[in-house]
Amino acid sequence: MSVDFSLSASPDFAGRVYVQPFRLMPDLTALKHFGVGFSWTIGRESGDENDPRVSAIRSQTRGGRLAGPRLFALLDDDDGSVVAAGQRDRQSVQAHWQHRQFRAFFEWMRSAQRVSKTSDDGTRASGTIANQAWQIFASMSLNPDDENTFFGVTPTRPFAPAKGDWGGATISLRYQELHIGSNAFPLLADPERSVTRARGFASSFQWHLNRHLELQTDVEWIFPNGGAAAGARRSAEFVTTTRLELRY
- At 171 the pLDDT is 98
pLDDT class of 123 with cuts at 50, 70, 90: confident
- At 67 the pLDDT is 57
Domain with 147 in it: what CATH number?
A: 2.40.160.10
Q: What mean pLDDT do residues 134-145 have?
A: 96
- For the chain, the three-class secondary structure string (H helix, E strand, C coil) is CEEECCCCCCCCEEEEEEECCCCCCCCCHHHCCCEEEEEEEEEEEECCCCCCCCCCEECCCCCCCCCCCEEECCCEECCEECEEEEEEEEEEEEEEEEECCEEEEEEEEEEEEEEEEECCCCCEEEEEEEEEEEEEEEEEECCCCCCEECCEECCCCCCEHHHCECCEEEEEEEEEEEECCHHHCCCCCCCCCCEEEEEEEEEEEEEECCCCEEEEEEEEEEEEEEECHHHCECCCEEEEEEEEEECC
- At 55 the pLDDT is 85
User: What is the chain's mean pLDDT, rounded?
Assistant: 89
Q: What mean pLDDT do residues 127-133 have?
A: 95
Dump pLDDT digits (tens) for 151-163: 889 999 999 999 9
- At 61 the pLDDT is 56
Dump pLDDT digits (tens) for 57-89: 988 655 445 456 789 999 887 767 899 999 999
Q: What mean pLDDT do residues 169-198 have?
A: 94
Q: What mean pLDDT do residues 141-149 have?
A: 94
pLDDT class of 185 with cuts at 50, 70, 90: very high
Number of domains in the chain: 1
Angle at 124 between CA 123 and CA 130, to 5 degrees: 145
C-alpha distances (whole Å) from 246 to each of 211, 215, 216 are: 9, 9, 11
Query: Domain range holding 170?
Result: 2-246
